[in-house]
Amino acid sequence: MKKNIKVLIHSKLLLLAFIFVGLSGHAQVIMFDDFNYSGNTDPQLASFNKWQIINGVSGPPEGATYSRNNVAFITDPNDSANKLMTLKTTVNGQSKAVTHSRIESSYEYFEGTYASRVYLSDESFATKDANIQTFFTIVSSSLAQDGAKYSE
């Protein structure tokens, strides 16, 4: 039996807004996204903020399977003009059958102020290890090689 673990990320309420100073330290830039997309194949995802939904074998963990189908944009039940982005992981009890979800941007962020609203569901699921839900920022491995630019 498959168990679905869902994380609802409120879009307009979420208003993922990052204020940061670029790596060069010369310019202040504001990045904003309300995640109000029509679906996981919406061309605006790639053109606006360079979002990429990971699909196929990736990491972490090494060799993990990620599915584009685990990322969805649904109509907010409390506001039909708003969208919610949902990220889901499917599990059937075996680590080889787990499919993950991840959305990321190729932009590198470092110093500055980050602000976001994320709703992590406390809905109980019958899982052996309980719910594990996270939201984080981390630099790419190319920047991680330089300890002065590493950030997570």
Select from 84, 105, 102 the least CA-distant residue to 12: 84
- Residue 67: the pLDDT is 94
pLDDT string in tens for the chain (152-residue length)? 344 333 333 333 333 333 233 333 444 467 778 888 999 999 999 888 788 999 999 887 788 899 999 999 999 888 999 888 888 888 776 666 788 888 888 776 666 666 666 666 666 555 555 555 666 666 666 666 666 666 66
Task: For 78-122, write each residue's pLDDT tens digit.
Answer: 899 988 888 888 877 666 678 888 888 877 666 666 666 666 666
C-alpha distances out from residue 63 to 22, 42, 99, 100, Å: 32, 27, 11, 11
Q: Residues with Cβ < 8 Å from 13, sequence gap 6 or more?
A: 82, 117
Parallel, antiparallel, or unpaired: how do β-strands 16-21 and 28-33 relate? antiparallel
Backbone angles phi, psi at 43, to 5 degrees: -60, -20
Backbone angles phi, psi at 66, to 5 degrees: -110, 140
Radius of gyration of the CA atoms of the chain, in A:
17
